[in-house]
Structure 1
Amino acid sequence: MPTLGEALREGGRRLGLAGIDTATFDARLLLAEVTGLAAPMVSLRGDTVMEPEAAARFEALLARREGREPMSHILGRRGFWTLDLAVTAATLDPRPDTETLVEAVLAALPDRKAPLRLLDFGTGSGCILLALLSELPAATGLGIDASPAALAVAVANAKACGLAERAQFRLGDWGQGIGGRFDVIVSNPPYIPEAEIDGLAPEVARFEPRSALSGGADGLECYRRLIPDIARLLSPGGVAALEVGQGQAGAVTALLTDAGPGREMVRCDLGGIERCVVAFAPDS
Protein backbone atom coordinates (compact mmCIF):
# COMPACT_ATOMS: atom_id res chain seq x y z
CA MET A 1 0.00 0.00 0.00
CA PRO A 2 1.25 3.53 -0.74
CA THR A 3 1.93 6.11 1.91
CA LEU A 4 -0.15 9.26 1.98
CA GLY A 5 2.77 11.20 0.56
CA GLU A 6 3.18 8.77 -2.34
CA ALA A 7 -0.54 8.81 -3.05
CA LEU A 8 -0.60 12.60 -2.99
CA ARG A 9 2.28 12.89 -5.43
CA GLU A 10 0.84 10.30 -7.81
CA GLY A 11 -2.64 11.76 -7.58
CA GLY A 12 -1.34 15.25 -8.29
CA ARG A 13 0.65 13.96 -11.24
CA ARG A 14 -2.32 12.19 -12.78
CA LEU A 15 -4.70 15.10 -12.30
CA GLY A 16 -2.13 17.47 -13.75
CA LEU A 17 -1.90 15.30 -16.87
CA ALA A 18 -5.70 15.48 -17.08
CA GLY A 19 -5.43 19.25 -17.43
CA ILE A 20 -6.57 20.21 -13.93
CA ASP A 21 -4.94 23.39 -12.63
CA THR A 22 -5.62 22.54 -8.98
CA ALA A 23 -4.22 19.01 -9.29
CA THR A 24 -2.34 18.68 -5.98
CA PHE A 25 -5.03 20.56 -4.05
CA ASP A 26 -7.74 18.27 -5.41
CA ALA A 27 -5.71 15.14 -4.72
CA ARG A 28 -5.21 16.29 -1.13
CA LEU A 29 -8.97 16.83 -0.69
CA LEU A 30 -9.69 13.37 -2.07
CA LEU A 31 -7.19 11.82 0.32
CA ALA A 32 -8.77 13.71 3.20
CA GLU A 33 -12.14 12.36 2.14
CA VAL A 34 -11.08 8.71 2.15
CA THR A 35 -8.94 8.87 5.31
CA GLY A 36 -11.12 11.13 7.45
CA LEU A 37 -8.19 13.47 8.05
CA ALA A 38 -8.34 17.23 7.75
CA ALA A 39 -6.80 18.25 4.44
CA PRO A 40 -3.68 19.91 5.98
CA MET A 41 -2.93 16.72 7.92
CA VAL A 42 -2.59 14.69 4.71
CA SER A 43 0.75 16.31 3.96
CA LEU A 44 1.87 16.29 7.60
CA ARG A 45 1.31 12.54 7.79
CA GLY A 46 2.94 11.74 4.49
CA ASP A 47 4.77 8.68 5.87
CA THR A 48 1.53 7.01 7.00
CA VAL A 49 0.73 3.88 5.02
CA MET A 50 -2.80 3.88 3.64
CA GLU A 51 -5.29 1.21 4.58
CA PRO A 52 -6.31 -1.00 1.62
CA GLU A 53 -9.93 0.20 1.71
CA ALA A 54 -8.88 3.87 1.73
CA ALA A 55 -6.43 3.26 -1.11
CA ALA A 56 -9.15 1.62 -3.21
CA ARG A 57 -11.59 4.47 -2.53
CA PHE A 58 -8.94 7.02 -3.40
CA GLU A 59 -8.29 5.30 -6.72
CA ALA A 60 -11.99 5.30 -7.55
CA LEU A 61 -12.43 8.99 -6.68
CA LEU A 62 -9.22 9.92 -8.47
CA ALA A 63 -10.43 8.24 -11.65
CA ARG A 64 -13.65 10.27 -11.50
CA ARG A 65 -11.69 13.50 -11.13
CA GLU A 66 -9.40 12.49 -13.99
CA GLY A 67 -12.56 12.33 -16.07
CA ARG A 68 -13.12 15.99 -15.09
CA GLU A 69 -16.11 15.35 -12.86
CA PRO A 70 -16.41 18.37 -10.54
CA MET A 71 -15.03 18.01 -7.05
CA SER A 72 -18.38 19.10 -5.63
CA HIS A 73 -20.09 16.16 -7.33
CA ILE A 74 -17.45 13.72 -6.14
CA LEU A 75 -17.54 14.97 -2.55
CA GLY A 76 -21.26 15.75 -2.65
CA ARG A 77 -20.88 19.19 -1.11
CA ARG A 78 -19.61 22.71 -1.66
CA GLY A 79 -18.92 25.58 0.70
CA PHE A 80 -20.87 28.75 -0.09
CA TRP A 81 -20.96 31.90 2.03
CA THR A 82 -20.76 30.44 5.55
CA LEU A 83 -22.71 27.29 4.67
CA ASP A 84 -21.72 23.75 3.73
CA LEU A 85 -24.22 22.72 1.06
CA ALA A 86 -25.07 19.44 -0.60
CA VAL A 87 -24.53 19.48 -4.37
CA THR A 88 -25.60 16.95 -6.98
CA ALA A 89 -25.63 16.64 -10.75
CA ALA A 90 -29.14 18.15 -10.64
CA THR A 91 -27.91 21.54 -9.41
CA LEU A 92 -25.57 24.25 -10.58
CA ASP A 93 -22.35 24.21 -8.59
CA PRO A 94 -22.40 27.22 -6.21
CA ARG A 95 -19.55 29.55 -7.13
CA PRO A 96 -17.70 32.26 -5.20
CA ASP A 97 -18.73 34.82 -7.85
CA THR A 98 -22.35 34.35 -6.78
CA GLU A 99 -21.47 35.55 -3.29
CA THR A 100 -21.26 39.00 -4.93
CA LEU A 101 -25.06 38.90 -5.23
CA VAL A 102 -25.47 37.99 -1.55
CA GLU A 103 -23.14 40.84 -0.55
CA ALA A 104 -25.01 43.30 -2.78
CA VAL A 105 -28.38 42.47 -1.26
CA LEU A 106 -27.14 42.66 2.32
CA ALA A 107 -25.47 46.01 1.62
CA ALA A 108 -28.75 47.37 0.22
CA LEU A 109 -30.91 46.46 3.21
CA PRO A 110 -31.34 49.19 5.84
CA ASP A 111 -32.50 46.77 8.55
CA ARG A 112 -31.31 43.18 8.55
CA LYS A 113 -33.60 42.33 11.48
CA ALA A 114 -36.78 43.26 9.61
CA PRO A 115 -39.35 40.52 8.79
CA LEU A 116 -38.54 40.54 5.09
CA ARG A 117 -40.07 38.29 2.42
CA LEU A 118 -37.52 36.83 0.00
CA LEU A 119 -38.05 35.22 -3.41
CA ASP A 120 -35.36 33.26 -5.27
CA PHE A 121 -35.98 32.33 -8.90
CA GLY A 122 -34.08 29.27 -10.15
CA THR A 123 -33.02 28.38 -6.63
CA GLY A 124 -31.07 25.21 -7.53
CA SER A 125 -29.22 24.08 -4.41
CA GLY A 126 -30.84 26.95 -2.50
CA CYS A 127 -27.46 28.59 -2.00
CA ILE A 128 -28.49 32.25 -2.48
CA LEU A 129 -31.72 32.05 -0.53
CA LEU A 130 -30.18 30.12 2.36
CA ALA A 131 -27.15 32.40 2.54
CA LEU A 132 -29.44 35.41 2.83
CA LEU A 133 -31.70 33.76 5.40
CA SER A 134 -28.64 32.92 7.49
CA GLU A 135 -27.91 36.67 7.72
CA LEU A 136 -31.51 37.87 8.08
CA PRO A 137 -32.90 36.29 11.26
CA ALA A 138 -36.52 37.48 10.86
CA ALA A 139 -36.79 36.87 7.11
CA THR A 140 -38.69 34.11 5.32
CA GLY A 141 -38.05 32.93 1.79
CA LEU A 142 -39.53 31.11 -1.17
CA GLY A 143 -37.35 29.33 -3.72
CA ILE A 144 -38.69 28.46 -7.18
CA ASP A 145 -37.17 25.94 -9.56
CA ALA A 146 -38.33 23.97 -12.59
CA SER A 147 -36.41 20.85 -11.50
CA PRO A 148 -37.92 18.53 -8.87
CA ALA A 149 -34.48 16.98 -8.32
CA ALA A 150 -32.93 20.39 -7.64
CA LEU A 151 -35.74 21.27 -5.24
CA ALA A 152 -35.09 18.09 -3.28
CA VAL A 153 -31.47 19.20 -2.81
CA ALA A 154 -32.59 22.68 -1.72
CA VAL A 155 -35.04 21.26 0.82
CA ALA A 156 -32.32 19.00 2.26
CA ASN A 157 -29.90 21.92 2.46
CA ALA A 158 -32.42 24.10 4.27
CA LYS A 159 -32.93 21.37 6.84
CA ALA A 160 -29.20 20.74 7.27
CA CYS A 161 -28.55 24.47 7.77
CA GLY A 162 -31.32 24.80 10.35
CA LEU A 163 -33.34 27.09 8.07
CA ALA A 164 -36.19 24.79 7.06
CA GLU A 165 -38.78 26.66 9.17
CA ARG A 166 -38.11 29.90 7.27
CA ALA A 167 -37.56 28.52 3.77
CA GLN A 168 -40.16 27.10 1.40
CA PHE A 169 -39.53 25.66 -2.05
CA ARG A 170 -41.94 25.28 -4.94
CA LEU A 171 -41.87 23.75 -8.40
CA GLY A 172 -42.54 26.48 -10.93
CA ASP A 173 -41.83 28.30 -14.18
CA TRP A 174 -40.37 31.64 -13.11
CA GLY A 175 -43.21 33.83 -11.80
CA GLN A 176 -46.18 31.90 -13.14
CA GLY A 177 -48.75 31.38 -10.40
CA ILE A 178 -46.94 33.53 -7.85
CA GLY A 179 -48.81 36.42 -6.24
CA GLY A 180 -48.20 38.91 -3.48
CA ARG A 181 -45.17 41.12 -3.01
CA PHE A 182 -41.63 40.43 -1.90
CA ASP A 183 -39.08 42.72 -0.27
CA VAL A 184 -36.12 40.98 -1.87
CA ILE A 185 -36.05 39.12 -5.19
CA VAL A 186 -32.88 37.35 -6.32
CA SER A 187 -31.88 35.10 -9.17
CA ASN A 188 -28.86 33.52 -10.82
CA PRO A 189 -30.64 32.53 -14.05
CA PRO A 190 -29.09 30.60 -16.94
CA TYR A 191 -27.12 33.17 -18.94
CA ILE A 192 -24.60 31.36 -21.16
CA PRO A 193 -25.35 31.58 -24.89
CA GLU A 194 -26.33 28.09 -26.06
CA ALA A 195 -23.61 27.91 -28.73
CA GLU A 196 -20.88 28.58 -26.14
CA ILE A 197 -21.71 25.83 -23.65
CA ASP A 198 -19.86 22.98 -25.32
CA GLY A 199 -16.67 25.07 -25.33
CA LEU A 200 -16.68 25.56 -21.56
CA ALA A 201 -14.52 23.58 -19.15
CA PRO A 202 -15.49 19.89 -19.10
CA GLU A 203 -16.58 20.18 -15.46
CA VAL A 204 -19.28 22.57 -16.63
CA ALA A 205 -20.15 21.47 -20.16
CA ARG A 206 -20.32 17.74 -19.41
CA PHE A 207 -21.52 17.58 -15.83
CA GLU A 208 -23.68 20.57 -14.90
CA PRO A 209 -27.37 20.61 -15.89
CA ARG A 210 -27.69 22.30 -19.27
CA SER A 211 -31.03 23.79 -18.24
CA ALA A 212 -29.17 25.73 -15.53
CA LEU A 213 -26.62 27.03 -18.04
CA SER A 214 -28.34 27.89 -21.30
CA GLY A 215 -29.66 31.40 -21.67
CA GLY A 216 -30.78 30.90 -25.26
CA ALA A 217 -29.14 32.25 -28.38
CA ASP A 218 -27.78 35.45 -26.80
CA GLY A 219 -27.76 34.46 -23.13
CA LEU A 220 -30.55 36.90 -22.25
CA GLU A 221 -33.65 34.78 -22.82
CA CYS A 222 -34.28 34.06 -19.14
CA TYR A 223 -33.89 37.71 -18.16
CA ARG A 224 -36.54 38.69 -20.69
CA ARG A 225 -38.96 36.22 -19.11
CA LEU A 226 -38.00 36.93 -15.53
CA ILE A 227 -37.79 40.71 -15.31
CA PRO A 228 -41.52 41.41 -15.91
CA ASP A 229 -42.26 39.09 -12.97
CA ILE A 230 -39.74 40.98 -10.84
CA ALA A 231 -41.42 44.29 -11.69
CA ARG A 232 -44.81 42.82 -10.76
CA LEU A 233 -43.76 41.12 -7.53
CA LEU A 234 -41.25 43.53 -5.99
CA SER A 235 -42.59 45.49 -3.03
CA PRO A 236 -42.32 49.29 -2.88
CA GLY A 237 -38.86 50.03 -1.51
CA GLY A 238 -37.79 46.47 -2.36
CA VAL A 239 -34.49 45.22 -3.77
CA ALA A 240 -33.92 42.87 -6.69
CA ALA A 241 -30.52 41.42 -7.58
CA LEU A 242 -29.61 39.40 -10.66
CA GLU A 243 -26.34 37.65 -11.40
CA VAL A 244 -25.13 38.31 -14.95
CA GLY A 245 -22.45 36.91 -17.22
CA GLN A 246 -19.42 38.85 -18.37
CA GLY A 247 -20.46 41.69 -20.66
CA GLN A 248 -24.20 41.34 -19.92
CA ALA A 249 -24.67 43.99 -17.22
CA GLY A 250 -25.59 46.76 -19.66
CA ALA A 251 -28.20 44.70 -21.49
CA VAL A 252 -29.79 43.43 -18.27
CA THR A 253 -29.83 46.93 -16.79
CA ALA A 254 -31.64 48.15 -19.91
CA LEU A 255 -34.24 45.39 -19.55
CA LEU A 256 -34.83 46.39 -15.92
CA THR A 257 -35.12 50.05 -16.88
CA ASP A 258 -37.72 49.24 -19.53
CA ALA A 259 -39.71 47.17 -17.02
CA GLY A 260 -39.63 50.05 -14.56
CA PRO A 261 -38.89 48.56 -11.10
CA GLY A 262 -36.71 51.58 -10.24
CA ARG A 263 -33.10 52.72 -10.28
CA GLU A 264 -30.28 50.24 -10.90
CA MET A 265 -26.63 49.76 -9.98
CA VAL A 266 -23.97 47.23 -10.93
CA ARG A 267 -21.68 45.32 -8.56
CA CYS A 268 -18.37 43.72 -9.60
CA ASP A 269 -16.98 40.43 -8.35
CA LEU A 270 -13.48 40.02 -6.89
CA GLY A 271 -12.07 39.70 -10.41
CA GLY A 272 -13.44 43.11 -11.36
CA ILE A 273 -16.12 41.64 -13.65
CA GLU A 274 -19.57 43.22 -13.58
CA ARG A 275 -21.38 40.30 -11.94
CA CYS A 276 -24.60 41.60 -10.37
CA VAL A 277 -27.26 44.10 -11.35
CA VAL A 278 -29.25 45.50 -8.43
CA ALA A 279 -32.61 47.26 -8.86
CA PHE A 280 -34.28 49.41 -6.20
CA ALA A 281 -38.03 49.91 -6.32
CA PRO A 282 -39.37 53.33 -5.33
CA ASP A 283 -40.95 53.57 -1.89
CA SER A 284 -44.39 54.19 -3.36
Structure 2
Amino acid sequence: MEDIVSSASAVPIPVAQPSAVRDSERWTHGDFALISSDHIRFRIPAFYISVFRDMHDLGHGENIVIQLDDGECETAAIIDLFLKFVIDNKAWETPPQGLQDMLPWLHLLDFLDKWDCSAAYETLILHAMHRVCHGQMFDIWAFLLGAHADDADLCALALKTEAARSVWKHTPEQVKSQVAGRRCTDPTAMSLELWHLIPPDYGWALAQAWGHHMVTATAVAATDRFPCPCPAHNIMTRWVDLSGEFRWRLASIKARQVEAQPAPASGQGAL
Protein backbone atom coordinates (compact mmCIF):
# COMPACT_ATOMS: atom_id res chain seq x y z
CA MET A 1 0.00 0.00 0.00
CA GLU A 2 1.15 3.55 -0.70
CA ASP A 3 0.31 6.81 0.99
CA ILE A 4 -1.20 9.89 -0.59
CA VAL A 5 -2.23 13.19 0.95
CA SER A 6 -5.95 13.79 1.11
CA SER A 7 -6.98 17.16 -0.31
CA ALA A 8 -9.64 17.43 2.39
CA SER A 9 -7.55 16.71 5.47
CA ALA A 10 -3.91 17.04 4.37
CA VAL A 11 -3.24 13.85 6.36
CA PRO A 12 -1.59 10.81 4.74
CA ILE A 13 -4.29 8.24 4.04
CA PRO A 14 -3.51 4.70 2.94
CA VAL A 15 -4.78 3.93 -0.55
CA ALA A 16 -6.18 0.44 -0.93
CA GLN A 17 -4.95 -1.75 -3.74
CA PRO A 18 -7.78 -3.34 -5.78
CA SER A 19 -7.41 -6.64 -3.90
CA ALA A 20 -7.97 -4.84 -0.58
CA VAL A 21 -11.41 -3.52 -1.55
CA ARG A 22 -14.31 -5.68 -0.43
CA ASP A 23 -17.91 -5.51 -1.60
CA SER A 24 -20.69 -4.62 0.80
CA GLU A 25 -22.71 -7.67 1.73
CA ARG A 26 -26.00 -5.91 0.96
CA TRP A 27 -25.46 -2.93 -1.35
CA THR A 28 -24.37 -4.64 -4.56
CA HIS A 29 -26.67 -3.20 -7.25
CA GLY A 30 -26.51 0.26 -8.80
CA ASP A 31 -25.03 2.37 -11.57
CA PHE A 32 -22.38 4.00 -9.35
CA ALA A 33 -19.86 2.66 -6.88
CA LEU A 34 -18.68 4.30 -3.69
CA ILE A 35 -15.56 2.97 -2.01
CA SER A 36 -15.55 3.98 1.63
CA SER A 37 -12.48 5.34 3.39
CA ASP A 38 -12.09 1.90 4.99
CA HIS A 39 -12.21 0.16 1.60
CA ILE A 40 -15.74 -1.23 1.31
CA ARG A 41 -17.43 -0.95 -2.11
CA PHE A 42 -21.09 0.10 -2.23
CA ARG A 43 -23.00 -0.02 -5.51
CA ILE A 44 -25.98 2.33 -5.43
CA PRO A 45 -28.48 3.94 -7.83
CA ALA A 46 -27.38 7.39 -9.00
CA PHE A 47 -30.59 9.19 -8.13
CA TYR A 48 -29.94 8.97 -4.37
CA ILE A 49 -27.08 11.50 -4.57
CA SER A 50 -27.54 14.60 -6.72
CA VAL A 51 -23.83 14.84 -7.60
CA PHE A 52 -23.97 11.35 -9.09
CA ARG A 53 -27.24 12.14 -10.80
CA ASP A 54 -25.60 15.11 -12.51
CA MET A 55 -22.70 12.93 -13.66
CA HIS A 56 -25.14 10.46 -15.16
CA ASP A 57 -27.09 13.22 -16.93
CA LEU A 58 -23.85 14.54 -18.44
CA GLY A 59 -23.27 11.16 -20.06
CA HIS A 60 -20.38 9.86 -17.97
CA GLY A 61 -21.71 6.33 -18.22
CA GLU A 62 -22.54 3.73 -15.62
CA ASN A 63 -19.07 2.72 -14.43
CA ILE A 64 -18.16 5.67 -12.25
CA VAL A 65 -16.28 4.75 -9.09
CA ILE A 66 -15.77 7.33 -6.35
CA GLN A 67 -12.98 6.74 -3.81
CA LEU A 68 -13.84 8.43 -0.52
CA ASP A 69 -11.20 9.41 2.02
CA ASP A 70 -12.83 11.09 5.01
CA GLY A 71 -12.17 8.90 8.04
CA GLU A 72 -15.23 10.16 9.92
CA CYS A 73 -18.14 10.82 7.57
CA GLU A 74 -17.21 8.52 4.67
CA THR A 75 -16.62 5.21 6.43
CA ALA A 76 -18.52 2.04 5.57
CA ALA A 77 -20.63 2.42 8.71
CA ILE A 78 -21.79 5.92 7.70
CA ILE A 79 -22.49 4.97 4.08
CA ASP A 80 -24.49 1.97 5.30
CA LEU A 81 -26.39 4.27 7.68
CA PHE A 82 -27.06 6.66 4.79
CA LEU A 83 -28.43 3.93 2.53
CA LYS A 84 -30.64 2.48 5.25
CA PHE A 85 -32.01 5.98 5.84
CA VAL A 86 -32.70 7.03 2.24
CA ILE A 87 -33.76 3.63 0.89
CA ASP A 88 -35.28 1.82 3.89
CA ASN A 89 -36.45 4.99 5.68
CA LYS A 90 -34.88 3.78 8.91
CA ALA A 91 -33.60 6.23 11.49
CA TRP A 92 -32.98 5.56 15.17
CA GLU A 93 -34.53 2.10 15.29
CA THR A 94 -33.64 2.23 19.00
CA PRO A 95 -33.50 5.56 20.88
CA PRO A 96 -29.92 6.82 21.33
CA GLN A 97 -28.82 6.30 24.93
CA GLY A 98 -25.39 7.88 24.97
CA LEU A 99 -22.97 10.08 23.11
CA GLN A 100 -21.49 7.17 21.16
CA ASP A 101 -24.96 6.40 19.80
CA MET A 102 -25.25 9.95 18.42
CA LEU A 103 -21.84 10.31 16.78
CA PRO A 104 -22.75 8.31 13.63
CA TRP A 105 -25.77 10.58 13.07
CA LEU A 106 -23.60 13.69 13.33
CA HIS A 107 -21.24 12.15 10.78
CA LEU A 108 -24.24 11.30 8.58
CA LEU A 109 -25.26 14.97 8.61
CA ASP A 110 -21.74 15.85 7.46
CA PHE A 111 -21.97 13.26 4.67
CA LEU A 112 -25.37 14.56 3.52
CA ASP A 113 -24.08 18.13 3.54
CA LYS A 114 -20.87 17.27 1.68
CA TRP A 115 -22.71 15.43 -1.09
CA ASP A 116 -25.54 17.96 -1.40
CA CYS A 117 -28.30 15.59 -0.24
CA SER A 118 -30.54 18.45 0.89
CA ALA A 119 -33.80 16.48 0.85
CA ALA A 120 -32.35 13.69 2.99
CA TYR A 121 -30.73 16.27 5.28
CA GLU A 122 -34.04 18.02 5.93
CA THR A 123 -35.86 14.70 6.33
CA LEU A 124 -33.39 13.60 9.00
CA ILE A 125 -34.09 16.77 10.97
CA LEU A 126 -37.84 16.14 10.65
CA HIS A 127 -37.34 12.59 11.91
CA ALA A 128 -35.58 13.97 14.98
CA MET A 129 -38.37 16.50 15.59
CA HIS A 130 -40.97 13.74 15.38
CA ARG A 131 -39.10 11.61 17.89
CA VAL A 132 -38.64 14.50 20.31
CA CYS A 133 -42.35 15.34 20.19
CA HIS A 134 -43.22 11.70 20.96
CA GLY A 135 -40.69 11.30 23.75
CA GLN A 136 -38.51 8.93 21.72
CA MET A 137 -35.29 10.95 21.93
CA PHE A 138 -33.64 12.66 24.88
CA ASP A 139 -33.58 16.43 24.66
CA ILE A 140 -29.81 16.69 24.79
CA TRP A 141 -29.30 14.42 21.77
CA ALA A 142 -31.90 16.33 19.75
CA PHE A 143 -30.24 19.60 20.82
CA LEU A 144 -26.82 18.27 19.80
CA LEU A 145 -28.14 17.20 16.39
CA GLY A 146 -29.84 20.57 15.86
CA ALA A 147 -26.74 22.51 16.88
CA HIS A 148 -24.57 20.43 14.55
CA ALA A 149 -27.03 21.13 11.72
CA ASP A 150 -27.33 24.83 12.67
CA ASP A 151 -31.08 24.26 13.09
CA ALA A 152 -32.41 26.52 15.85
CA ASP A 153 -35.93 25.09 15.51
CA LEU A 154 -34.85 21.58 16.49
CA CYS A 155 -32.79 22.92 19.39
CA ALA A 156 -35.68 25.04 20.67
CA LEU A 157 -38.08 22.11 20.34
CA ALA A 158 -35.72 19.98 22.41
CA LEU A 159 -35.83 22.60 25.17
CA LYS A 160 -39.61 22.98 25.05
CA THR A 161 -41.22 19.54 24.88
CA GLU A 162 -41.75 16.79 27.42
CA ALA A 163 -38.36 15.39 26.44
CA ALA A 164 -36.85 18.38 28.21
CA ARG A 165 -37.75 16.70 31.49
CA SER A 166 -35.07 14.05 30.91
CA VAL A 167 -32.29 13.80 33.47
CA TRP A 168 -28.98 11.97 33.52
CA LYS A 169 -29.46 8.48 34.90
CA HIS A 170 -27.09 6.98 37.43
CA THR A 171 -25.55 4.63 34.86
CA PRO A 172 -21.74 4.86 34.66
CA GLU A 173 -21.54 3.53 31.08
CA GLN A 174 -24.01 6.14 29.89
CA VAL A 175 -23.15 9.11 32.05
CA LYS A 176 -19.48 8.85 33.02
CA SER A 177 -18.53 12.32 34.29
CA GLN A 178 -21.99 13.92 34.14
CA VAL A 179 -23.96 14.56 37.30
CA ALA A 180 -26.61 11.91 37.89
CA GLY A 181 -30.15 13.21 38.34
CA ARG A 182 -29.50 16.61 36.74
CA ARG A 183 -31.30 17.94 33.67
CA CYS A 184 -29.60 16.73 30.50
CA THR A 185 -29.47 20.23 28.99
CA ASP A 186 -27.95 21.78 32.11
CA PRO A 187 -24.55 23.06 30.89
CA THR A 188 -22.94 22.40 34.29
CA ALA A 189 -23.88 18.70 34.06
CA MET A 190 -22.40 18.05 30.61
CA SER A 191 -19.20 16.15 29.98
CA LEU A 192 -16.26 17.83 28.29
CA GLU A 193 -16.64 15.44 25.35
CA LEU A 194 -20.20 16.64 24.82
CA TRP A 195 -19.23 20.30 25.12
CA HIS A 196 -16.62 19.87 22.39
CA LEU A 197 -19.33 18.72 19.96
CA ILE A 198 -21.64 21.71 20.48
CA PRO A 199 -20.82 24.73 18.26
CA PRO A 200 -19.74 27.72 20.40
CA ASP A 201 -22.69 29.98 19.52
CA TYR A 202 -25.22 27.27 20.41
CA GLY A 203 -23.36 26.41 23.61
CA TRP A 204 -23.25 30.08 24.59
CA ALA A 205 -26.97 30.59 23.93
CA LEU A 206 -27.83 27.48 25.96
CA ALA A 207 -25.63 28.56 28.86
CA GLN A 208 -27.14 32.05 28.82
CA ALA A 209 -30.68 30.64 28.80
CA TRP A 210 -29.86 28.42 31.74
CA GLY A 211 -28.17 31.30 33.57
CA HIS A 212 -31.28 33.45 33.13
CA HIS A 213 -33.42 30.60 34.48
CA MET A 214 -31.14 30.16 37.50
CA VAL A 215 -31.28 33.85 38.44
CA THR A 216 -35.07 33.90 38.11
CA ALA A 217 -35.57 30.62 39.96
CA THR A 218 -33.26 31.68 42.78
CA ALA A 219 -35.20 34.92 43.24
CA VAL A 220 -38.49 33.01 43.35
CA ALA A 221 -37.11 30.49 45.83
CA ALA A 222 -36.00 33.31 48.13
CA THR A 223 -39.62 34.48 48.51
CA ASP A 224 -41.19 31.00 48.71
CA ARG A 225 -43.17 30.52 51.91
CA PHE A 226 -42.58 26.77 51.75
CA PRO A 227 -39.10 26.31 50.32
CA CYS A 228 -37.80 22.94 49.21
CA PRO A 229 -35.42 21.37 51.78
CA CYS A 230 -32.83 21.39 49.02
CA PRO A 231 -33.64 24.49 46.92
CA ALA A 232 -30.52 24.27 44.79
CA HIS A 233 -31.42 20.73 43.76
CA ASN A 234 -35.00 21.78 43.02
CA ILE A 235 -33.84 24.66 40.83
CA MET A 236 -31.46 22.48 38.84
CA THR A 237 -33.81 19.56 38.20
CA ARG A 238 -37.29 20.99 37.77
CA TRP A 239 -38.61 21.41 34.25
CA VAL A 240 -38.86 24.85 32.68
CA ASP A 241 -39.32 25.97 29.08
CA LEU A 242 -35.99 27.45 28.01
CA SER A 243 -36.79 27.62 24.30
CA GLY A 244 -37.79 31.30 24.12
CA GLU A 245 -34.75 32.54 26.03
CA PHE A 246 -32.49 30.27 23.99
CA ARG A 247 -33.91 31.57 20.69
CA TRP A 248 -33.42 35.18 21.78
CA ARG A 249 -29.83 34.58 22.89
CA LEU A 250 -28.95 32.68 19.72
CA ALA A 251 -30.53 35.34 17.48
CA SER A 252 -28.56 38.05 19.28
CA ILE A 253 -25.21 36.38 18.73
CA LYS A 254 -26.07 35.57 15.09
CA ALA A 255 -26.91 39.24 14.55
CA ARG A 256 -23.59 40.31 16.06
CA GLN A 257 -21.76 37.89 13.79
CA VAL A 258 -23.45 39.44 10.75
CA GLU A 259 -22.59 42.95 11.95
CA ALA A 260 -18.96 41.94 12.46
CA GLN A 261 -18.55 40.84 8.86
CA PRO A 262 -16.44 43.30 6.84
CA ALA A 263 -18.30 45.49 4.37
CA PRO A 264 -17.65 44.86 0.65
CA ALA A 265 -14.76 46.90 -0.68
CA SER A 266 -15.61 49.90 -2.83
CA GLY A 267 -16.19 48.96 -6.45
CA GLN A 268 -16.96 45.30 -5.69
CA GLY A 269 -20.73 45.56 -5.88
CA ALA A 270 -22.92 43.49 -8.14
CA LEU A 271 -22.59 44.16 -11.85
TM-score, scaled to structure 1 = 0.29
Point out which structure has higher relative CO (alpha carbons under 8 A, 6+ apart).
1
Query: How high is the TM-score relative to the length of structure 2?
Result: 0.30
Which is richer in strand?
1
Say which one has the larger Rg: 2
Which structure dedicates a bigger proportion of its chain to helix?
2
